[in-house]
Structure 1
Amino acid sequence: MKHYKKLIYLFIGIATISCNDYLDLDPISEETSGNAYESASQIEAALVGAYESFQSSEYYVWDNILFQDVRSDNCYAGGDNPEIFQIDFIDIEPTHSRLFTHWSNLYNAISKANLVLERVDDINDPLLTDERRNQIKGEAYFLRSYHYFTLVKLWGSVPLILNTITSTDSESVNVPRASIEEVYAQITTDLETAANLLPDIYGIDASINKARATAGAAHALAAKAYAQQPNADYAAVLNHIEAVESSTANYQLIPYSQLFDGNNYNNAESIIEVQYLGGNEGNFGPQLLLPPSVSGDTWRKFVTPSVDLVNAFDEQGDTVRKNAAILFEEVQWVDEFWGNTQGSSIPFSFKWKNANGFASADNTYLLRYGDIVLLKAEAYNELTQLGNAIIEVNKIRNRAGLPELTTAQSNSQEALRNTILKERRLELFQEGQRWDDLARYNQLVATMNNLIEIDLRNGSPVNYNMTEAKKILPIPQQELDRNPALVQNPL
């Protein structure tokens, strides 16, 4: 029940019932079909369980960094886990254990959202107002969409399951893959529905407004989905971004250092973030990334910023974002890309600032306005409104203390497209965006195959052998064995 307690503290005021009503509930999985979901408190508890997937799914805790930053040109694998090195070298087999873990966790999260959507209209409880009922629907639609967006970016076409599965019949459980277009259509439909059902804010408490889906969050995610889908609809992207910017939530850029100092979560730039309280309700991710001086341990960490990434910061003279995102420290282990000797100074991912023994209170941004500003620039550029695109990019550069774009950086659509991609890399490092950005810009194969990374143990460059097939992950072998209706991705 501890996850319920955590989110209940964040959701104070979402209903006119007491916290004790939540805490006295048996786990939802133990309720029977005869007595489950008859009261406002029970459907609120089910919704809390749906949100809890952001904390319980390892993908959202830190594996998104592995599959986005380590798999791309941003970071190297560290530590001693062979499967993380396989991600780094883009050599991922269907039997890779993390594939099945994330596939299962994401579909479990979708099932929780589906259950809320199925049951909420059947609740006949005067404590559940029509306004709150609609909000619950909007929140569940948002959550389902967020997880399907994650799935389709990782695996391409995936089974589209829009109701809870209550039968073990093969027709019910052996669901074939929907097309990528069908999945995106469902995502954007759900998000547009959610945006109409959700409020801009729930009140004056930022820790609630940033913990829960709002209209702004639905519009922001819809903008990202319309841009990422196979045939991007940049007019729709702009429409949804305009809705974000007109929200009474008043999203705005704040000083970059404040975004990641560990003391300013639930800020004006945050649209929605995963909330951690520390202790038993802590975030284990920071301990896996932070240097010994911060983490208090001496073992080699699992994610190391790449030489290419550090050079990208230095080429721009981008000290503000580099200092917020990377910390160099001498270590006693040997890193094959940074010195290859004990005592070398190597970089660490530093956007989380507090480790606290695998129990950090550092939050994770799911959506923030800086990302949306650069997406707006991308949309303007793709719609050949280069002047407007330059204005948006310069907002981000000004915030980072960088000069405005030069003519060479912005004198054509192609030049500006490359500039925006580079800007997103520096702005969003360690936020689980890089692989998706390269995929959207159709630069994954070229970027990874042209990347020069020297293994100092032998002086040889790494051959990533990137192919079109490797843009998406293999379907987990365990899922193929269980569901004969599935077909494997090209390997």
Structure 2
Amino acid sequence: MKKKHIILYTLGLSLTFGLSSCEKYLDIEPISRETVDDAYATASQIEAALAGAYETFQSSDYYVWDNVLFQDVRSDNYYAGGDNPEIFAIDKLEIIPTNGRVFSAWSSIYNGILKANTVLERAPAITDPALSEERRAQIISEAAFLRAYHYFNLVKMWGGVPLVLEATKSTDPSAVRLPRATAEEVYNQIIADLQFALDNRLPDTFGEANITKARATRGAANALLAKVYAQKPNPDYNKVLEHAEAVINSPAGYTLLGNYNHLFDGNHYNNDESIMEVQFLGGNEGNWGPQMHLPPSVSGDTWRKFVTPSHNLVDAFDAEGDEVRKNATILMEVVPWADEFWGNQTGSEVPFAYKWRNASGWASADRQYIFRLADIILLKAEALNELNRPSEAAQEVNRIRKRVGLDEIPQTVAASQTQMREVILKERRLELAQEATRWDDLRRYNVAIEVMNSLNEIDLRTGQRVNYNATEGDLLLPIPQQEINRNPALQQNPL
């Protein structure tokens, strides 16, 4: 175990022994077969089960907010802020197996998989004539997509994980205490689920935008496949290119919005650039995440906020002269608290994460994009460059830069695969900050350790540079200690 983890791990370990909520769930007696069958006997019931599977995006802390912690705060984009020691530990790369955010992410994602598995198992057996064969095929395909998406998030964060491919029906340890599959096996299952979805009547659209952007479509499946083939340990950039182009040329007609700010102003959701987004509506179906980020003038309160943009991120925008994306991503405001990076005294000006802009008292209608076109265009550029076609890659990057008024990539840079690799990584950072992609990008480019250890972030309380001490053990999250305690078949990641 790394030296920086030893004390933190020892202090936290005693807090986590005992039954976890997941274990308690597995320990309950299964409901009767008759009741289970009755619960999934009609078209309306299986539609409700599918809606419940989608609801994970709105109810899971991971998909509401923690994905930003594990991607942007964990990287060079944002500081932790707030007052939660477990979130500061994520920022400092001092993440231990007893960190509650780690367990919350693991358990909530697996809960989403359980819901998808139930739909996949039950939909084929329904005999209700109100369920057409076309709709049955769509439902099964949507559930396969959801399972693939959840497993993609698991394998990115933890590497190989247990592959649970059936609805839980037993408390027998042999059925629920599964060993970890390899990362390759998990990626193979993700690809199989997505290819099945594409082959099994997944539609390009569902007609209305608010339904199309909320549900799995061919565009969403191709977007996820492009990401999967890029992120897996042995990337296949020909496949990345194939699936990125399928999105870009989709009959759904995805196009970049002319105004970058419209992506986040709250008035243009379900837009032409959006491939899939979480459909927060506000009120009882609201998003609590924005209240955690936004400054007093917007949130209406005066407590210190979480997820603060870093000096390094702000400097990256400024170095590029990227005022459009900077102003859409960051809001500066004088605050009544001290911030150890932006001003170690009250009354300092501090930046705020601003891609969500309406707090609405913990019930915001602000949304996260699951996929949007600009991300996929930049993945296409990455694929072209890795296939040694840097000039074509530059053309795709220029599409993204043109929207925000930046110059085209110089021809001398566009001719160099090495230089274009740096350009694309930087462009993805400026385009997608606060959209839960940064740690994945740093890992995929094999620069996470180098980037974190080269940061020059000064803690104003001490005047000392922060030493992130990043090592190979920081690239993946630790398996939650609760799961290790419950399931002896699990082996811990290197710490």
TM tier, shorter chain?
Answer: over 0.9
Report if aligned partners of 1:157, 1:180 keep a CA contact under 8 Å in 2: yes
Alignment counterpart, residue 363 of structure 1, candidates 356, 359, 367: 367
CA distance in 1, matches of 2:291, 2:216: 28
What whole-Å deviation, never above 9, does each CA across 1:400-431 have from its counterpart, x for those lacking one? 11000124543311110011000000000000
Q: Write out per-residue CA displacement over residues 349-384 of structure 1, whole angstroms, 9 at most, x where no aligned residue.
A: 000110001000111100000100000000000001
Select 1:97's aligned residue among 91, 100, 107. Answer: 100
1:138 corresponds to 2:141: yes
Separation in structure 2 between the aligned mates of residue 303 and residue 408 of structure 1, nearest angstrom: 37
- What TM-score, normalized by structure 2, do the two folds share? 0.92
Q: Is the contact made by 1:278 and 1:360 (CA closer than 8 Å) also made in structure 2?
A: yes
Q: Does the 8 Å CA contact 2:245/2:380 hold for their aligned counterparts?
A: no
Query: Counterpart amino acid of 2:60?
Result: S
2:64 to 61, 65, 68: 61
Is 1:401 the counterpart of 2:405 in the alignment? yes
Alignment partner of 2:462 out of 448, 458, 465 = 458
Superposition RMSD on alpha carbons, in Å?
Answer: 1.3
Matched, 1:307 2:311: yes
Residue of structure 2 equivalent to 1:244: 247
Partner of 1:72: 75
The equivalences for 1:170-185 within 5 A come to: 170-185=173-188
- 8 Å Cα contact 2:335-2:350 kept in structure 1: yes
User: How many residue pairs were aligned?
Assistant: 463
Aligned partner of residue 405 in structure 2, secondary structure: coil
Contact 2:155 2:161 in 1 (8 A): yes
Q: Residue in 2 aligned with 1:46?
A: 49
C-alpha contact 2:248 2:373 (8 A) present in aligned 1: no
1:339 to 338, 343, 356: 343
Kept in 2, the 8 Å contact 1:439–1:471? The answer is yes
Tell me which amino acid in the other structure corresponds to 2:150: H
- The aligned residue for residue 4 of structure 1 is none
What letter matches 1:208 in structure 2?
I
Conserved? CA contact 2:287–2:364, under 8 Å: yes
Contact 1:198 1:213 in 2 (8 A): yes
Return the letter of the residue paired with 2:198.
A
Deviation, 1:245, is 2.0
How far apart, in 2, do the equivalents of 1:268 and 1:385 lie?
28
Quick one: which of 109, 132, 143 aligns to 1:106? 109
The residue type paired with residue 310 of structure 1 is V
Residue type at the aligned position of 2:226? A
Q: What residue is the counterpart of 2:291 in the other structure?
A: 287
Amino acid at match of 2:152: F
Q: Distance in 2 between matches of 1:351 and 1:125?
A: 44
- Mapping 1:68-467, distance limit 5 Å: 68-196=71-199, 197-203=201-207, 205-254=208-257, 255-407=259-411, 409-467=413-471
TM-superposed deviation, 1:164: 1.1
- The one-character-per-residue Cα deviations of 1:46-90 (angstroms, maximum 9, x if unpaired) are 000000000111011011111100000000011111111000000
Relative contact order higher in (CA < 8 Å, ≥ 6 apart): 2
**Mapped partners of 2:248, 2:78: distance in 1:** 33
| Native 8 Å contact 1:192 1:219 kept in 2 | no
Segments of 5+ residues of structure 1 without an aligned counterpart are 1-28
Aligned counterparts of 1:126 and 1:183: Cα–Cα separation in 2: 36
Counterparts of 1:375 and 1:247, CA distance in 2: 16
Q: Percent identity?
A: 64
Cα offsets for 1:377-400 (capped at 9, x unmatched): 000000011121010000000011
What amino acid sits opposite 2:64 in the alignment?
A: V
1:9-20 counterparts in 2 under 5 A? none
Alpha carbons 2:391, 2:415 under 8 Å: kept: no
Which residue identity does 1:209 align to in structure 2? T
TM-score under structure 1 normalisation? 0.93
| Pairwise CA distance, 1:280 | 1.3
Q: Distance in 1 between matches of 2:36 and 2:77?
A: 48
CA deviations on 1:135-155 (whole Å, 9 max, x unpaired) are: 001100110011000000110
The CA distance in 2 between the partners of 1:231 and 1:396, in whole Å, is 27
Q: Deviations over 1:265-307 (max 9, x none)?
A: 0000000000011111100000000111111110100110000
Cα distance in 2 for residues equivalent to 1:38 and 1:418: 54
Cα drift, residue 248 of structure 1: 1.4
Cα distance in 2, alignment partners of residues 299 and 395 from structure 1? 40
SS in 2 for 1:252: coil
**Counterpart in 2 of 1:471?**
475
Q: CA deviation at 1:246?
A: 2.3
How much does 1:232 deviate? 0.3
Cα distance, 1:188 vs. partner?
1.1
Report how far residue 98 of structure 1 moved.
1.2
Tell me by how many angstroms 1:193 deviates.
Answer: 1.3
Counterpart CA distance in 2 for 1:34 and 1:186 is 27
Q: CA deviation at 1:34?
A: 3.9
Q: Distance in 2 between matches of 1:356 and 1:34?
A: 41
Contact 2:177-2:488 within 8 A present in 1 as well:
yes
Is this contact kept in 2: 1:408–1:415, CA < 8 A? no
Tell me the amino acid that sits aligned with residue 329 of structure 1: E
Return the offset for 1:258.
0.7
User: Aligned equivalents of 1:32 and 1:428: distance in 2?
Assistant: 46
Conserved in 2, the CA contact under 8 Å of 1:410 and 1:419?
A: no
Distance 1:306 1:379 in 2: 29
1:405-463 superposed Cα distances (whole Å, 9 cap, x missing partner): 12454331111001100000000000000000000000000000011100111110000
Indicate if the aligned counterparts of 1:251 and 1:268 stay in contact, CA closer than 8 A: yes
Paired with 1:158 and 1:34, the residues of 2 have a C-alpha distance of: 30
Mapped to 2, the partners of 1:459 and 1:108 lie a distance apart of 44
TM-aligned CA deviation for residue 485 of structure 1:
0.5
Whole-angstrom CA distance in 2 between matches of 1:34 and 1:234:
44
Q: For residue 194 of structure 1, what is the amino acid of its counterpart?
A: A
Letter of the 1:133 partner, please give it.
Answer: R
State the 1:173 CA deviation. Answer: 0.8
Give the Cα–Cα distance (whole angstroms) in 2 for the partners of residues 195 and 340 of structure 1: 53
